[in-house]
Structure 1
Amino acid sequence: MGMVRVHIGFDDTDSPRGGCTTYVAALIIERLHKLGARFTDYPNLVR
């Protein structure tokens, strides 16, 4: 099977327990990388 391109977007993940959207994005990127995901470009942070 060939590579599948996936676009992920999320917004407003702030919570009382901590973890702003930027931090959550960094955790997701790190996890995807460990799972073997290949990124075709740098992740974008759009405000």
Structure 2
Amino acid sequence: MYWSSWSEFLHMGGYGRYVWGSLAVMMVVIAAEIWQLRSRRRHME
């Protein structure tokens, strides 16, 4: 796809809220997983 401005890119044809929201949730889940793994590793030592 081609966008003519940054606002069109962020809006993504009306689906921007879902796309960026999903990306944010995914990043939070991955960060929580990494935090849990590090926490478990510290407790095992």
TM interval, short-chain normalised: 0.3 to 0.5
Larger Rg: 2
TM-score (norm: length of structure 2): 0.41
Q: Which has the higher contact order (CA 8 A, sep 6+)?
A: 1
TM-score (norm: length of structure 1): 0.40
Higher helix share: 2
